[in-house]
Amino acid sequence: MATRIFIFNAVRTVTGPARLGELAAAWVMPALVLAILLAAPLVLSDFRVALLGKFLTFAILAMSLNLIWGYAGMLSLGHGVFFGLGGYAMAMFLKLESAQGKLTDFMFWSGLTELPIFWAPFQYAWFAIPMTFIVPAALAGGLGYLVFRSRITGVYFALITQALALIVSILFIGQQPYTGGTNGITNYTTIFGFPINSPSTQVFLYYATLAVLALTYLLCAWLIASRFGRLLVAMRDDENRVRFSGYNPAILKTIVFALSGGIAGIAGALFTPQVGIISPTMMGIVPSIEIAIWVAVGGRGVLLGAIVGAILVNGAKSGLSESFPAVWQYFLGLLFIGAVLVFPAGIMGLLRGEGWRRPEWLAVEQLRALATRFIPGVSR
Amino acid sequence: MIGRRARGVFRAASPNGSNGAGGKSTADDLILSVEQLTISFDGFTVLNELDFSMKYGEMRFLIGPNGAGKTTLIDAITGKSKPDRGRIVFDGAADLTRQQEHQLVKLGIGRKFQTPSIFGSLTVYQNVEVALGFRSRITGLLGGTRRRDSDRIMATLEEVGLAPRAGDVAGALSHGEKQWLEIGMLLVQEPKLLLMDEPVAGMTRRERERTGELLQSIGSTRSVLVVEHDMEFVRRFAETVTVLHLGRVLSEGTKETVQQDPEVIRAYLGHGVSGQRTVAEAPRPGQKETVRA
């Protein structure tokens, strides 16, 4: 009997989730979300499709943060920077396509007479598109290595990434001739020869984003299921034990942080052509914190959670800002407080029937006791 | 693999425990040799020109009053504390004091912490799996676990008595089971030298008994250094004992000789040094040790 149990357990752990519920959580729900997103352009207006396309880029961004925060336990409050760098690399390509490889409008206004050397290669798609991954990944890897080597973790790591968001956004604002300053880079006309604002191009970009989202999901799912993925979770649980198990956490964290930065960059590259602008406001402190809110609301450490969180929070944000322009930010704040205090496992946690927590200060029992005493008709 | 061969040779040469510490030995017999090690924190000297050595295949118990420097010595051997002076030679090769923790693990030094240090949200099986992969390259870690490896993981879990719980989340284990899991994670790495910091702290009587038997079986095939406060446990399972006091070796030998050493009795019954305890006051089983050396 004991042997049978242990064989069952061994097989289960080797082959992964075997129970029906786990299987459903692993594949049925993502497939459902994918089906909804595939069908969305058929029923939504062009405006809504463009909006949803933007949310999908946020979903990719949220997944990149979930990978390091939800699994490896590193909260980055600077992911807007990596998103922005990818967005800028794409914007440089689009802008040069519009300007036919010549000086762009904002450079002319800023008094430049020649295209800066580092801009020139971005007129080629074969250079610009890989750069949307490589530049942010390199920055994340370089910064990450220095930070992780010094064994800086937790809130101190979050503060450093927060500082990065501030520094990079100030840098981009200050370098107007090269970055377009506060206005950012905008006014693109075509993408690969197609008019960028036409509905058919936008629908194509929507599906391209959805395809990247699906691929990112598969990549993350594969990574998480591998031994490397288990090592990430191990670092979240007890970094010291990982170190004393013979691994160098600094290297592992650098790798995953660079990968996460690169994925965020790709999200930014998909954002720019759909929204038509990239500016420093996208990489500052506030958007960087918002990303963490999406992940927290959706559910940390669940791949689908980041996607659901990014789409729902942004959907709520645009819905509320249309209906309650003055106070919608309070709703967002309440949602985040709720995610921290009441449902720490996020929406995905609630769907799985776990992670519902009743905060003590709500004092539900006392309220109920009061109600039964003073309000007629209310019983236990 | 090299470790296993070396162990075999030396096991034949020096049967465990029978030729205890203190006897003449050449450098070749020593798996660990700590020479003139000095460590101080904020001007307070914790280890004071300490000399300490262990032979291949030996199981040694390290005892001493609070503040004697036991945990600091283990910290130094595992690279957690950097010494001010002195050196540590391991396995006849490198000076350990210049290496980082994870490099020392790869050299064959395993360490069990005082409080159980495991990965609570992974399963018991996965905990051992993570430990086993420590020599893999990153690219190798992207693949799954091979059949041979999963057999080894299950064999290790059998050894520490956790095989029936392989699929359970490690965070749900009892305190004692977590300690065994951590020991299993070390064993699967086949270390040449195993350092155990109070392995029975917080365990029930039955758990202590089982851990003692586990230690004896581990000690028959590799070198083990056990730091222990629980005198009853030491009397029951120790062969040779080293007593640290104020950062130096006070006494060394079989447990009988050490027990009768007047220096040791004086150190434990204590004059003056605050925070010291007598033998009778040594932590009772199940009591958590909070003050660290």
The answer to the question of residue B216 being in a domain is yes
Task: Give contacts of A8 with chain B, Cβ < 8 Å.
Answer: 167
Nearest CB among B122, B165, B168 relative to A234 is that of B122
Q: Cα distance from B282 to chain A (closest Cα, Å)?
A: 28
Contact B241, B279 (CB under 8 A): no
Quick check: B215 and B237 in contact, CB under 8 A?
Answer: yes
Q: B129: which chain A residues are within 8 Å (Cβ-Cβ)?
A: 227, 230
For residue A242, give the 3-state DSSP assignment.
Answer: helix
pLDDT in tens, chain B (293 residues): 343 434 333 333 333 433 444 444 566 788 999 989 999 888 888 898 999 999 998 999 999 888 888 889 999 999 888 889 888 988 877 678 888 899 999 999 999 998 889 999 999 999 999 999 888 887 788 877 778 888 999 999 999 999 999 999 999 999 999 999 999 999 999 999 999 998 888 888 898 999 999 998 888 888 999 998 888 888 888 889 999 988 888 888 888 888 888 888 888 765 544 444 444 444 444 444 444 43
According to the model, what pLDDT value does residue A357 have?
Answer: 61
Distance between A78 CA and the closest CA of chain B, angstroms: 26
Residue A12 contacts B, CB cutoff 8 Å: yes
DSSP class of residue A277 equals E
Contact residues on chain A for B133, CB-CB shorter than 8 A:
227, 231
C-alpha radius of gyration, chain A, whole number: 23
Chain A residue numbers touching B134 (CB-CB < 8 A)? 245-247
Place of tokens 């999200």: A267
d(CA A172, CA A174): 5
ipTM over 0.95? The verdict is no
Distant-in-sequence contacts of B265-269, Cβ < 8 A, 24+ apart: B267/B64, B267/B65, B267/B243, B268/B65
Show the tokens assigned to B86.
């002195």
Measured in angstroms, the CA of A128 and the nearest CA of chain B are apart by 28
Q: Containing domain of residue B35, as a range?
A: 2-16+25-120+190-277
Q: Which of residues 227-266 of A touch B (CB under 8 A)?
A: 227-228, 230-231, 233-234, 236-238, 240-249, 251-252, 255
What are the backbone angles phi and psi of residue A201, rounded to the nearest 5°? -65, -40
In the prediction, which pLDDT does B5 show?
Answer: 39
Using a CB-CB cut-off of 8 Å, the residues of chain A touching B189 are: 245-246
How far is it, in rounded angstroms, from Cα A110 to Cα A122? 20
Give the distance from CA B27 to its chain's centroid: 21
Q: How far is B16 from B219, CA to CA, in rounded Å? A: 8
Cβ contact (<8 Å) for B129 and A227? yes
In a domain, B108, yes or no: yes
Number of domains chain B contains: 1
Q: What does the pLDDT read at residue A19? A: 57
Kindly give the pairing relationship between strand B240-245 and strand B248-254: antiparallel
**pLDDT value of residue A20:** 65
Calculate how close chain B gets to A245, using CA atoms only, in Å: 6
| CA nearest neighbour of A267 among A193, A315, A215 | A215
Which of B122, B130, B179 should we substitute to test contact with A (largest number of A Cβ atoms within 10 Å)? B130
Q: What is the pLDDT of residue B125?
A: 95
Could you tell me if A380 and A372 are in contact, meaning their C-beta atoms sit under 8 angstroms apart? yes
Distance CA A188, CA A92 (A): 10
Q: What angle do CA B285, B289, B293 make, to 5 degrees?
A: 130
Question: What pLDDT was estimated at residue A6?
Answer: 39
**Paired sense of beta strands B109-112 and B193-197, if any:** parallel
Q: Is the CB of A238 less than 8 angstroms away from the CB of B117?
A: yes
How much is the pTM? 0.84
Q: Are A58 and A314 in contact (CB under 8 A)?
A: yes
Report yes or no on B238 lying in a domain: yes
| Spatial distance between the Cα atoms of A72 and A75, rounded to a whole number of angstroms | 9
CA distance A286 to B54: 58
How many contacts (CB atoms, under 8 Å) link A and B? 108
Residue owning tokens 């980082």: B100
Compare all CA atoms of chain A with the CA of B151 and give the residue at the minimum distance.
A10
Answer whether residue B250 is part of any domain: yes
For chain B, the residues whose C-beta falls within 8 A of a C-beta of chain A are 78, 100-102, 105-106, 111, 113, 117-123, 125-127, 129-131, 133-136, 138, 141-145, 150, 154, 163-168, 182, 185, 189
Residue B175 counted as domain residue:
no
Q: What is the CATH number of the domain that holds B29?
A: 3.40.50.300
Length of chain A: 380
Query: Do the domain assignments include residue B263?
Result: yes
Closest by CA to B107, choosing from B120, B95, B116, is B95
Reading the block at residue B70, the tokens are 């036991």
The nearest CA of chain A is from the CA of B44 a distance in Å of 25
Q: In what order do the strands lie in the sheet with B85-90?
A: B44-55, B30-41, B85-90
Contact by Cβ (8 Å): B122, B179: no
Outline where chain B has alpha helix (H).
2-13, 70-77, 101-107, 124-132, 138-141, 147-159, 175-187, 205-219, 231-237, 255-260, 262-269
**What per-residue confidence (pLDDT) applies to A350?**
81
Low-confidence stretches of chain A (pLDDT < 50) are: 1-18, 380
Q: Is residue B197 part of a domain?
A: yes
Q: Which amino acid is at A39?
A: A
The pairs formed by A221-227 with CB atoms below 8 angstroms and a separation of 24 or more are: A221/A26, A221/A303, A223/A67, A223/B142, A224/A71, A224/A303, A225/A16, A226/B141, A226/B142, A226/B143, A226/B144, A227/B129, A227/B130, A227/B133, A227/B136, A227/B141, A227/B142, A227/B143, A227/B144, A227/B145
Which DSSP symbol is given to B277? -
Residue among A280, A290, A297, A226 at smallest CA distance from A255? A226
Q: How far is B200 from chain A (nearest CA, A)?
A: 19
pLDDT reported for residue A24 = 65
DSSP string, A71-121: IT----S-HHHHHHHHHHHHHHHHHHHHTTTS--HHHHHTT--S--TTTGG
User: Among all residues of chain B, which has the CA nearest to that of A220?
Assistant: B142
**B90-120 pLDDT tens trace:** 887 767 888 889 999 999 999 999 888 999 9
CA distance B53 to B30: 7
DSSP string, B149-217: HHHHHHHHHHHTT-GGGTTSBGGGS-HHHHHHHHHHHHHTT--SEEEEESTTTT--HHHHHHHHHHHHH
Please tell me the predicted confidence (pLDDT) of residue A21.
Answer: 64
> For residue B255, is it within any domain?
yes
Q: Which two tokens stand for residue A80?
A: 């807007």
User: Which residue type sits at A342?
Assistant: V
Searching chain B, which residue's CA lies closest to the CA of residue A236? B119
Q: Which residue from A minimizes the CA distance to B105?
A: A246
